[in-house]
Structure 1
Amino acid sequence: MILISIEKKQKLNSLLWWSAGVAFTFLIAFWGYLFSLLPGLNNVGQLACAIIIAVIYRHFFGYPMILKNGIVFSSQKLLRLAIILYGLKLNIDVILQDGLGLLLRDGIIIASVILLTVWAAKIFKADSTISLLLGVGTGVCGAAAIAAIAPIVKSKDEDTAISVGIIALVGTVFAVGYTLIEPVLPLSSESYGIWAGSTLHELAHVAIAAEPAGEDALAISLLAKLGRVFLLVPLAFIFILIMNRKEKGKQTERNKVQFPWFLVGFLLMSIIGSYVIDNTVQVTDNIMEDVSTLTTWLLTAAMVGLGLNVNLSDLRSKAFKPLIIMIIVSLILSVLTYFSV
């Protein structure tokens, strides 16, 4: 009886510390949200602000080991749940009906950006993993793409967090830049929307840049962007094949890339959102907005968990070259796409 009582007490303590760890990631996520409301940070976004706070916390107070289980749960399980729910943002029906031409353009853009980034990383001897993740984030859909591909390429949590932080900050700068130059560009609203949707990093960045150009520009820009999101799933399977082939000579259960079941969930949610909710179920815009908000909070808490693994003293040496490469590649992408729309 005494042993059973001690075991129950240990399980209860473990559960309490696990809960505290999860709550801790949401607390920092909340602080990220508050900071994102401040003037000057409102365009940076909750995600980037939360990661910065997490990195600073780790630098000054260290990693809270007693909360590790809950933090790991947020950075792994909640991250996958967020990606699954992110699938609701993707309307497959609209893409297949109206966006096949844009889908081809998106495929060329994604392949070109990733290959150019990886090539530049080799030339300038930049961190290969961070550079690859930044290439994926730039080519596809920012943080969500990085989070989906990171476990497949076996990225360290630290490298994933650094990549997400960079993509959020640089993407924001580009989105604001697009907004500033839009009035003087000799582009129609439709062409501008295609340009923004084909080159900017996150869905939020596309919305920020395209909204001032009008509803038509916003609609076509989101369609172009969603085409890139749609290609995330086949891209993930390409990386699985590459990684498994790379590990073929030393293939063991440990080395083998695990099937990303969360991407199946992402695809299923896309199908539900595209064909079930839109056609048969009466779901209000408020409910869909609530789901989108939940997705953002889950993703932010997950990124806090990853950010707590970042060693600030190593950040400059690991991130500087990939950051410069990403900026250059993003500029090349913007210029070349501008002249092709």
Structure 2
Amino acid sequence: MNENVLKKSVSINFKPFIYWTGGVLFTFIIALLSFQIAKVPGFNYIGPLATAIIVSIIYRQIFGYPEKIKTGAVFSAKKLLRAAIILYGLKLNIDIIFKQGLGLVGLGIISIAFSIILTLLIAKWLNADFNLSLLVGVGTGVCGAAAIAAVSPILKSKEEDTAISIGIIALVGTAFSILYALLIPVIPLAPDEFGIWAGLSLHELANVATAAAPAGEEVLAIALLAKLGRVFLLVPLCFVLIYWKKKKQTDTESETKIHFPWFLVGFIAMSIVGSYVIGNIIFIPEEMMSDVSIFTTFLLTMAMAGLGLNVNLKALRSKAMRPFIAMSITSVLLSILTLFII
């Protein structure tokens, strides 16, 4: 009798942990698979993050949501996502922005404001889903998937909406980066102007690199500097959204607390460490920093796998098309606007 009770208590205690571990491991496997698929021609343009979303969405449609291991999948989608955003701060060199890129930060403000406001206006005209449209507007204006991941907790977005918006950003951003690369020989811009144009208007850091690299290392450097100016603005944008969300709350919602996104503090701290500590106070080999960057991307990829599992394609068709159209129109007009202001 006592033995049976003991066995039962042990199984009850360990089952949740086993399922949690299974969920995290499941997203790990999808991330690992996505890194390999992303090396295949075609997929190499969209990268492992979008690939993980595609793989997990396909899994969900064929096999359904893995309910037993849900806790682990949710952990990857939420906790690992925040951890990755904190580490992502190492990619932002504040010192370079302060010394060389403050003018580009001013242009970045125009780019972000234009992207978000225009996307929401077009979305309203199309009667599109507001939250999805806001997410893709932020992704278009700032830095793609990372920006969407950062603002989603503030906006209390559904995991499905977060995954869908990141998928839209990946699709449109990839198309634009390829188009920009093809335009290098024909567009009437000086090399540095082309770099600034790419950095101010393309969605992801990877998109900027894809478009600017064929024009040479100097063009790529100025393009990434312009892009980092927009990444730098992610933090103040998050605080603006927190303020807006609080003001927007109705009386019935006023009891719902908007939790401060503490991971942004970690993001800022990592930016400071990467800018002023590493290389000045502490020396870390470039190979190790490269490994940290890959690890950060891998964590983000695991998070994307967890998010993608929440996407139900049947419910998605009518919901995503209009934000996709709104974001595509905005991307075209943003390219035209930035072309004229540089």
TM bucket by the smaller chain?
A: over 0.9
Inter-partner Cα distance in structure 1 for 2:173 and 2:43: 13
Inter-partner Cα distance in structure 2 for 1:217 and 1:188: 10
Inter-partner Cα distance in structure 2 for 1:182 and 1:213: 7
Inter-partner Cα distance in structure 2 for 1:13 and 1:250: 39
81, 92, 95: which one pairs with 2:94?
Answer: 92
Alignment TM-score, normalising by the size of structure 1: 0.97
| Equivalent in the alignment of 2:280 | 279
Inter-partner Cα distance in structure 2 for 1:183 and 1:19: 51
| Equivalent in the alignment of 2:289 | 288
Inter-partner Cα distance in structure 1 for 2:203 and 2:111: 12
Amino acid at match of 1:276: V
Inter-partner Cα distance in structure 1 for 2:334 and 2:254: 39
Amino acid at match of 2:271: S
37, 40, 44: which one pairs with 2:39?
Answer: 37
Residue 46 of structure 1, CA deviation: 1.0
Amino acid at match of 2:130: S
Inter-partner Cα distance in structure 2 for 1:272 and 1:6: 49
Amino acid at match of 1:197: G
Residue 189 of structure 1, CA deviation: 1.1
Asked if structure 2 preserves the Cα contact closer than 8 Å seen for 1:198 and 1:225, the reply is: yes
Residue aligned with 1:260, SS: coil
| Equivalent in the alignment of 1:321 | 322
Residue 7 of structure 1, CA deviation: 3.0
Inter-partner Cα distance in structure 1 for 2:153 and 2:143: 16
Inter-partner Cα distance in structure 1 for 2:6 and 2:291: 43
Residue 4 of structure 1, CA deviation: 5.5
Residue 31 of structure 1, CA deviation: 2.0
Residue aligned with 1:25, SS: helix
Inter-partner Cα distance in structure 2 for 1:185 and 1:121: 30
Amino acid at match of 2:181: T
Residue aligned with 2:338, SS: helix
| Equivalent in the alignment of 2:177 | 175
Inter-partner Cα distance in structure 2 for 1:252 and 1:315: 30
Residue 249 of structure 1, CA deviation: 2.1
Inter-partner Cα distance in structure 1 for 2:266 and 2:15: 32
Deviations 1:87-144 (A, max 9, x none): 0000001101111110011011101110111111111101111110000000000000
Over the aligned positions, Cα root-mean-square deviation in angstroms equals 1.2
**More displaced stretch, 31-40 vs 60-69:** 31-40
Asked if structure 2 preserves the Cα contact closer than 8 Å seen for 1:171 and 1:202, the reply is: yes
| Equivalent in the alignment of 1:204 | 206
Amino acid at match of 1:303: M
Inter-partner Cα distance in structure 2 for 1:17 and 1:259: 30
Asked if structure 2 preserves the Cα contact closer than 8 Å seen for 1:78 and 1:298, the reply is: yes
| Equivalent in the alignment of 2:71 | 69
Residue aligned with 1:151, SS: helix
Residue 9 of structure 1, CA deviation: 2.6
Inter-partner Cα distance in structure 2 for 1:11 and 1:278: 47
Deviations 1:151-170 (A, max 9, x none): 11111110000000110111
Asked if structure 2 preserves the Cα contact closer than 8 Å seen for 1:247 and 1:256, the reply is: no
Are positions 1:27 and 2:29 aligned together? yes
| Equivalent in the alignment of 2:192 | 190
Inter-partner Cα distance in structure 1 for 2:125 and 2:9: 56
| Equivalent in the alignment of 2:231 | 229
Inter-partner Cα distance in structure 2 for 1:103 and 1:15: 46
Residue 5 of structure 1, CA deviation: 5.0
Asked if structure 2 preserves the Cα contact closer than 8 Å seen for 1:113 and 1:329, the reply is: yes
Inter-partner Cα distance in structure 2 for 1:248 and 1:314: 28
Alignment TM-score, normalising by the size of structure 2: 0.97
Q: Note the residue ranges of structure 1 that are not aligned, 5 or more in a row.
A: none
Amino acid at match of 1:11: N
Q: Note the residue ranges of structure 2 that are not aligned, 5 or more in a row.
A: none
Aligned length: 340
| Equivalent in the alignment of 1:302 | 303
Deviations 1:69-91 (A, max 9, x none): 00000000000000000000000
Are positions 1:156 and 2:158 aligned together? yes
Asked if structure 2 preserves the Cα contact closer than 8 Å seen for 1:56 and 1:312, the reply is: no
Inter-partner Cα distance in structure 2 for 1:225 and 1:41: 23
Residue aligned with 2:260, SS: coil
Residue 251 of structure 1, CA deviation: 4.5
| Equivalent in the alignment of 2:257 | 256
